[in-house]
Protein backbone atom coordinates (compact mmCIF):
# COMPACT_ATOMS: atom_id res chain seq x y z
CA UNK A 1 0.00 0.00 0.00
CA UNK A 2 2.99 2.29 0.43
CA UNK A 3 3.46 2.64 -3.33
CA UNK A 4 -0.23 3.46 -4.13
CA UNK A 5 -0.04 7.21 -3.46
CA UNK A 6 2.73 8.05 -6.01
CA UNK A 7 1.09 5.85 -8.63
CA UNK A 8 -2.30 7.47 -8.16
CA UNK A 9 -0.72 10.95 -8.28
CA UNK A 10 0.99 10.08 -11.54
CA UNK A 11 -2.29 8.85 -13.03
CA UNK A 12 -4.06 12.05 -12.00
CA UNK A 13 -1.37 14.19 -13.61
CA UNK A 14 -1.62 12.16 -16.80
CA UNK A 15 -5.39 12.54 -16.79
CA UNK A 16 -5.11 16.31 -16.36
CA UNK A 17 -2.59 16.55 -19.20
CA UNK A 18 -4.92 14.55 -21.46
CA UNK A 19 -7.82 16.84 -20.62
CA UNK A 20 -5.73 19.94 -21.33
CA UNK A 21 -4.54 18.53 -24.63
CA UNK A 22 -8.12 17.62 -25.56
CA UNK A 23 -9.36 21.12 -24.78
CA UNK A 24 -6.50 22.66 -26.78
CA UNK A 25 -7.25 20.36 -29.72
CA UNK A 26 -10.92 21.33 -29.66
CA UNK A 27 -10.05 25.04 -29.53
CA UNK A 28 -7.65 24.68 -32.46
CA UNK A 29 -10.35 22.85 -34.43
CA UNK A 30 -12.89 25.60 -33.67
CA UNK A 31 -10.43 28.27 -34.79
CA UNK A 32 -9.67 26.41 -38.03
CA UNK A 33 -13.39 25.98 -38.81
CA UNK A 34 -14.05 29.65 -38.06
CA UNK A 35 -11.22 30.80 -40.33
CA UNK A 36 -12.29 28.51 -43.18
CA UNK A 37 -15.94 29.57 -42.81
CA UNK A 38 -14.94 33.22 -42.72
CA UNK A 39 -12.88 32.88 -45.89
CA UNK A 40 -15.73 31.00 -47.59
CA UNK A 41 -18.26 33.67 -46.70
CA UNK A 42 -15.89 36.40 -47.81
CA UNK A 43 -15.32 34.70 -51.14
CA UNK A 44 -19.08 34.22 -51.53
CA UNK A 45 -19.84 37.87 -50.90
CA UNK A 46 -17.12 39.23 -53.19
CA UNK A 47 -17.27 36.91 -56.19
CA UNK A 48 -19.94 38.86 -58.09
CA UNK A 49 -17.89 42.03 -58.63
CA UNK A 50 -15.07 40.42 -60.69
CA UNK A 51 -17.63 38.75 -62.96
CA UNK A 52 -19.57 42.00 -63.28
CA UNK A 53 -16.48 44.04 -64.17
CA UNK A 54 -15.11 41.42 -66.55
CA UNK A 55 -18.34 41.31 -68.53
CA UNK A 56 -18.76 45.08 -68.41
CA UNK A 57 -15.29 45.78 -69.79
CA UNK A 58 -16.24 44.04 -73.03
CA UNK A 59 -18.39 47.09 -73.78
CA UNK A 60 -16.16 49.92 -74.93
CA UNK A 61 -16.27 53.37 -73.35
CA UNK A 62 -18.06 52.12 -70.23
CA UNK A 63 -17.12 53.35 -66.75
CA UNK A 64 -17.55 49.94 -65.18
CA UNK A 65 -16.55 50.93 -61.63
CA UNK A 66 -19.15 53.71 -61.66
CA UNK A 67 -21.76 51.32 -63.04
CA UNK A 68 -20.90 48.75 -60.34
CA UNK A 69 -21.25 51.38 -57.60
CA UNK A 70 -24.66 52.46 -58.91
CA UNK A 71 -25.74 48.83 -59.22
CA UNK A 72 -24.92 47.73 -55.69
CA UNK A 73 -26.44 50.83 -54.12
CA UNK A 74 -29.83 49.50 -55.24
CA UNK A 75 -29.81 46.60 -52.77
CA UNK A 76 -26.95 46.82 -50.22
CA UNK A 77 -27.98 47.23 -46.59
CA UNK A 78 -31.60 46.44 -47.50
CA UNK A 79 -34.07 43.67 -46.80
CA UNK A 80 -33.76 41.47 -49.94
CA UNK A 81 -37.54 41.49 -50.30
CA UNK A 82 -37.75 45.29 -50.15
CA UNK A 83 -35.93 46.32 -53.34
CA UNK A 84 -38.52 47.87 -55.69
CA UNK A 85 -37.61 48.34 -59.34
CA UNK A 86 -37.23 52.11 -58.87
CA UNK A 87 -34.10 51.43 -56.80
CA UNK A 88 -32.32 50.75 -60.09
CA UNK A 89 -33.11 54.19 -61.57
CA UNK A 90 -29.61 55.56 -60.75
CA UNK A 91 -28.10 52.51 -62.48
CA UNK A 92 -30.17 53.20 -65.60
CA UNK A 93 -28.92 56.79 -65.51
CA UNK A 94 -25.21 55.82 -65.62
CA UNK A 95 -25.61 52.89 -68.03
CA UNK A 96 -27.88 54.39 -70.64
CA UNK A 97 -29.57 52.26 -73.27
CA UNK A 98 -28.75 53.00 -76.87
CA UNK A 99 -31.75 52.42 -79.15
CA UNK A 100 -31.27 50.07 -82.09
CA UNK A 101 -34.10 51.09 -84.38
CA UNK A 102 -35.64 48.28 -86.46
CA UNK A 103 -33.44 45.67 -84.70
CA UNK A 104 -34.93 45.33 -81.22
CA UNK A 105 -36.13 41.86 -80.33
CA UNK A 106 -38.50 41.06 -77.46
CA UNK A 107 -39.34 37.53 -76.40
CA UNK A 108 -41.50 35.48 -74.04
CA UNK A 109 -41.04 31.78 -73.26
CA UNK A 110 -38.62 31.48 -76.21
CA UNK A 111 -35.31 32.41 -74.56
CA UNK A 112 -33.20 29.56 -75.93
CA UNK A 113 -34.59 29.84 -79.46
CA UNK A 114 -34.16 33.61 -79.57
CA UNK A 115 -30.59 33.64 -78.34
CA UNK A 116 -29.53 30.74 -80.49
CA UNK A 117 -30.81 32.74 -83.45
CA UNK A 118 -29.36 36.15 -82.48
CA UNK A 119 -25.95 34.68 -81.63
CA UNK A 120 -25.62 33.28 -85.15
CA UNK A 121 -27.28 36.13 -87.05
CA UNK A 122 -26.45 39.77 -86.44
CA UNK A 123 -29.99 40.83 -87.22
CA UNK A 124 -31.52 41.73 -83.86
CA UNK A 125 -30.64 43.02 -80.41
CA UNK A 126 -32.23 41.45 -77.33
CA UNK A 127 -32.25 42.83 -73.80
CA UNK A 128 -29.53 40.33 -72.93
CA UNK A 129 -27.30 41.86 -75.63
CA UNK A 130 -27.31 45.26 -73.93
CA UNK A 131 -24.64 46.19 -71.38
CA UNK A 132 -26.73 45.65 -68.24
CA UNK A 133 -28.57 42.63 -69.61
CA UNK A 134 -25.34 40.96 -70.68
CA UNK A 135 -23.46 41.75 -67.49
CA UNK A 136 -26.06 40.27 -65.13
CA UNK A 137 -27.59 37.53 -67.28
CA UNK A 138 -27.86 34.29 -65.30
CA UNK A 139 -26.57 35.78 -62.02
CA UNK A 140 -28.09 36.01 -58.54
CA UNK A 141 -27.42 38.67 -55.92
CA UNK A 142 -28.87 40.37 -52.86
CA UNK A 143 -27.87 42.32 -49.76
CA UNK A 144 -28.96 42.29 -46.13
CA UNK A 145 -29.78 44.92 -43.57
CA UNK A 146 -26.80 46.15 -41.60
CA UNK A 147 -24.26 45.02 -44.19
CA UNK A 148 -22.57 46.53 -47.24
CA UNK A 149 -21.89 43.08 -48.70
CA UNK A 150 -23.17 41.68 -51.95
CA UNK A 151 -24.34 38.12 -51.40
CA UNK A 152 -24.78 35.47 -54.08
CA UNK A 153 -26.27 32.69 -51.92
CA UNK A 154 -29.27 32.62 -49.62
CA UNK A 155 -31.07 35.20 -51.76
CA UNK A 156 -34.85 35.03 -52.36
CA UNK A 157 -35.93 33.30 -55.55
CA UNK A 158 -37.84 34.93 -58.39
CA UNK A 159 -41.24 34.05 -56.92
CA UNK A 160 -40.38 34.26 -53.21
CA UNK A 161 -41.27 37.96 -53.05
CA UNK A 162 -42.20 40.59 -55.63
CA UNK A 163 -39.53 43.13 -54.74
CA UNK A 164 -36.45 40.93 -54.65
CA UNK A 165 -33.27 42.40 -56.20
CA UNK A 166 -33.07 40.16 -59.27
CA UNK A 167 -36.72 40.35 -60.27
CA UNK A 168 -36.84 44.13 -59.76
CA UNK A 169 -33.68 44.55 -61.84
CA UNK A 170 -35.07 42.67 -64.84
CA UNK A 171 -38.42 44.46 -64.55
CA UNK A 172 -36.66 47.84 -64.52
CA UNK A 173 -34.31 47.27 -67.44
CA UNK A 174 -37.10 45.60 -69.44
CA UNK A 175 -39.13 48.77 -69.00
CA UNK A 176 -36.22 50.87 -70.20
CA UNK A 177 -35.57 48.58 -73.18
CA UNK A 178 -39.18 49.08 -74.26
CA UNK A 179 -38.98 52.85 -73.65
CA UNK A 180 -36.22 53.24 -76.25
CA UNK A 181 -37.73 50.84 -78.81
CA UNK A 182 -38.09 52.46 -82.21
CA UNK A 183 -39.06 51.72 -85.79
CA UNK A 184 -40.13 48.15 -86.48
CA UNK A 185 -39.80 45.92 -83.41
CA UNK A 186 -40.05 42.14 -83.29
CA UNK A 187 -41.25 39.72 -80.63
CA UNK A 188 -40.70 35.96 -80.61
CA UNK A 189 -43.50 34.16 -78.78
CA UNK A 190 -44.05 30.48 -78.07
CA UNK A 191 -46.55 28.70 -80.31
CA UNK A 192 -46.34 25.50 -78.27
CA UNK A 193 -48.23 26.85 -75.28
CA UNK A 194 -51.89 27.75 -74.93
CA UNK A 195 -51.25 31.38 -73.98
CA UNK A 196 -48.28 32.80 -75.91
CA UNK A 197 -49.14 36.30 -74.69
CA UNK A 198 -49.40 35.63 -70.96
CA UNK A 199 -50.58 38.57 -68.84
CA UNK A 200 -48.09 37.61 -66.10
CA UNK A 201 -45.04 37.72 -68.39
CA UNK A 202 -42.65 40.69 -68.40
CA UNK A 203 -43.44 41.15 -72.09
CA UNK A 204 -47.17 41.58 -71.39
CA UNK A 205 -47.11 43.29 -68.00
CA UNK A 206 -44.29 45.76 -68.68
CA UNK A 207 -42.80 45.89 -72.17
CA UNK A 208 -45.89 46.04 -74.41
CA UNK A 209 -47.44 48.71 -72.21
CA UNK A 210 -44.40 50.97 -72.76
CA UNK A 211 -44.15 50.73 -76.54
CA UNK A 212 -44.89 54.25 -77.77
CA UNK A 213 -46.48 54.95 -81.14
CA UNK A 214 -44.42 58.13 -81.51
CA UNK A 215 -41.34 55.92 -81.77
CA UNK A 216 -42.60 52.46 -82.80
CA UNK A 217 -44.26 51.87 -86.19
CA UNK A 218 -44.84 48.11 -86.21
CA UNK A 219 -44.81 45.17 -83.86
CA UNK A 220 -44.00 41.99 -85.78
CA UNK A 221 -44.80 38.83 -83.84
CA UNK A 222 -42.90 35.69 -84.79
CA UNK A 223 -44.87 32.78 -83.36
CA UNK A 224 -42.36 29.96 -83.03
CA UNK A 225 -44.01 26.63 -83.73
CA UNK A 226 -43.06 22.97 -83.48
CA UNK A 227 -44.79 19.81 -84.64
CA UNK A 228 -46.89 19.87 -81.47
CA UNK A 229 -47.89 23.53 -81.87
CA UNK A 230 -51.12 24.23 -80.02
CA UNK A 231 -51.64 27.84 -81.09
CA UNK A 232 -51.51 29.99 -84.22
CA UNK A 233 -51.78 33.66 -85.04
CA UNK A 234 -55.54 33.61 -84.40
CA UNK A 235 -54.96 32.75 -80.73
CA UNK A 236 -57.14 34.69 -78.31
CA UNK A 237 -54.23 35.94 -76.23
CA UNK A 238 -52.69 37.48 -79.35
CA UNK A 239 -55.91 39.37 -79.91
CA UNK A 240 -55.42 40.74 -76.40
CA UNK A 241 -51.92 41.78 -77.42
CA UNK A 242 -53.32 43.82 -80.29
CA UNK A 243 -55.70 45.58 -77.89
CA UNK A 244 -52.84 46.40 -75.52
CA UNK A 245 -50.77 48.14 -78.19
CA UNK A 246 -50.58 51.91 -78.20
CA UNK A 247 -52.91 53.30 -80.84
CA UNK A 248 -50.98 53.84 -84.03
CA UNK A 249 -48.70 50.82 -83.76
CA UNK A 250 -49.40 48.34 -86.55
CA UNK A 251 -49.47 44.63 -85.71
CA UNK A 252 -48.35 41.65 -87.76
CA UNK A 253 -48.06 37.98 -86.87
CA UNK A 254 -46.39 35.11 -88.68
CA UNK A 255 -46.06 31.45 -87.73
CA UNK A 256 -42.50 30.21 -88.17
CA UNK A 257 -41.26 26.73 -87.34
CA UNK A 258 -38.29 26.35 -85.05
CA UNK A 259 -36.59 24.19 -87.69
CA UNK A 260 -36.93 27.04 -90.20
CA UNK A 261 -35.25 29.43 -87.75
CA UNK A 262 -32.38 27.01 -87.20
CA UNK A 263 -31.93 26.55 -90.93
CA UNK A 264 -31.89 30.29 -91.50
CA UNK A 265 -29.42 30.93 -88.68
CA UNK A 266 -27.02 28.45 -90.28
CA UNK A 267 -26.99 30.50 -93.51
CA UNK A 268 -25.73 33.95 -92.54
CA UNK A 269 -25.61 35.01 -96.18
CA UNK A 270 -29.41 35.17 -96.28
CA UNK A 271 -31.05 38.55 -95.58
CA UNK A 272 -32.53 38.76 -92.09
CA UNK A 273 -35.99 39.39 -93.46
CA UNK A 274 -35.86 36.12 -95.39
CA UNK A 275 -35.99 34.08 -92.17
CA UNK A 276 -39.79 34.48 -91.99
What positions carry a catalytic annotation? 101, 182
Q: Is the dihedral of CA 157, 163, 166, 172 positive or negative?
A: positive
Task: Spell out the alpha helix ranges (H) of the chain.
Answer: 4-46, 48-56, 64-72, 89-94, 111-120, 131-136, 165-179, 202, 236-244, 258-265
Give every strand in the sheet of 250-257, ordered side by side: 105-108, 183-190, 216-225, 250-257
3-state DSSP assignment of residue 217: strand
Please list, residue by residue across 83-114, b when 16 or more beta carbons sit within 10 angstroms of its beta carbon and e when fewer do: bebebbeebbeebebeebebbbbbbbbbeebb
- 251 secondary structure, DSSP code: E
Provide, for the chain, the percentages of residues in helix, strand and coil under a 3-state DSSP scheme, each rounded to the nearest 5. 50, 10, 40
3-state DSSP assignment of residue 106: strand
Amino acid sequence: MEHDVPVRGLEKRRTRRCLVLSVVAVLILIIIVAVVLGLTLTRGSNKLKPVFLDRCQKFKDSNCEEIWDAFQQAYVNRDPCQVPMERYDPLIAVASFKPSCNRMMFWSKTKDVVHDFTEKRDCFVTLEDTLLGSVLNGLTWCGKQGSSETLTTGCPGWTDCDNNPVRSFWNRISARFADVACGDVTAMLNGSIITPFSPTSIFASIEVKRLNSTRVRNLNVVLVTQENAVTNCTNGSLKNLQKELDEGIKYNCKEVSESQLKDCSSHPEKPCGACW
